[in-house]
Amino acid sequence: MYVNCAYLEEPHKMIVNTDTPLLVTAVGNYRIHTRKILENIRPSGRADYQLIYIASGKMHLILYGKKQTVPKGNMILFRPGEPQNYSIHAEDRSETFWVHFTGNQVESILADYDIPQGKNIFFTGISHNYKWLFLQMIQELQLKRTYFKDTMPLQLKLLLLYISRNDEKGQLITAELLDEVENAMHYFNNNFHSQIVIEDYAKQHNMTPCWFIQNFKRITDTTPMQYIVSLRINNATNLLDDTEYSIEKIANSVGYDNALYFSRLFRKHVGMSPREYRKRNKN
């Protein structure tokens, strides 16, 4: 079992704070591999709020007496006092992220993002943006750098915004479609440095290009090619930071034969040329 957690105070201490609008008190990431079951049963719930994101696999949930299985691409919100009975199993290869929060304006903030009372499960899709936000919050709470208590509520609010934006699409998206998109994302992550033709990828996986592009964007809020370009640019920034490779070699390493075209694309996404980026970071 992989665990990466951070706490405002000592672990497992439940914090309720009515002196601040919104306060993140704990955040973490679980991946179940060897331990058969991770289970939480709290008949009286908790005194704070808890948001769980199912990044892969599924979660087995008993909500107000009703058993259900919640697949990846969903978030679950527990308000204070709501009974909690859920588990994740190794056989499902599940990964979850979670955050606990409190404050005197939480309900008004939830209302601002159209998150209603009485609803616990929200479709959000499988964008890497969610993982990135959770990992950023974990890092902030682990390091406790200056103003971390101001940064983390902003990151949490961005998660709530994604819930509001994407939940209305959830009833139209099947687990099979999520699998297709997630498989494509894995392929792009492993092969972004190669020449990828979206139309060819779709046809090789028995999908029409139009259908694939449309549904990829529905779930990730970006097109397949935009997703690939973002992977290439992100990896290019890492190479500029960590190596002395020439711009031409970096362009080739992330999938571009033409260094001039790469530089133009880099400027479009980053706001400066690769050389300017490298010079600024070295300074």
The secondary structure of 69-130 as a DSSP string is EEESSEEEEE-TT--EEEEEEGGGT-EEEEEEEE-TTHHHHHHHTT--TT--EEE----HHH
Query: Angle at CA 39, nearest 5°, toward 35 and 43?
Result: 165
CB half-sphere exposure, 239, CA atoms < 13 A: 20
Count how many Cα atoms sit within 13 Å of the Cα of residue 176 in the half-sphere of its side chain. 1
Q: Which tens digit of pLDDT belongs to each residue from 36-61?
A: 888 999 999 999 999 999 998 899 99
Cα angle 42, 48, 49; round to 5: 90
Superfamily of domain 2-171: Regulatory protein AraC (2.60.120.280)
133: exposed, middle or buried (Cβ count in 10 Å: 0-12, 13-18, 19+) = buried
The pLDDT value recorded for residue 95 is 92
Strand, coil or helix: 228: helix
Tokens representing 53 are: 């994101």
Q: Which among 243, 238, 255 has a CA at the least distance from the CA of 188?
A: 255
User: In whole angstroms, how large is the CA radius of gyration of the chain?
Assistant: 21
pLDDT at 170: 53
Secondary structure class of 56 (helix, strand, coil): strand
Q: pLDDT, tens digit, for every residue of 204-220?
A: 999 999 999 998 988 78
- For residue 276, name the pLDDT band (cuts at 50, 70, 90): very high
Residue 93 contacts residue 56 (beta carbons within 8 Å): yes
Residue 259: closest CA among 270, 271, 245:
245
Indicate whether this model's pTM tops 0.75. no
Compute the residue count for the chain: 283
DSSP state of 167: G
pLDDT of residue 173: 64
CATH topology of domain 174-283: Arc Repressor Mutant, subunit A (1.10.10)
At 228-258, the pLDDT tens digits run 999 999 999 999 998 999 999 999 999 999 9
In order of 49, 148, 163, the CA distances from 136 in angstroms are 19, 11, 18
Alpha carbons within 13 angstroms on the beta-carbon side of residue 182 total 15
**Domain limits of the chain?**
2-171, 174-283
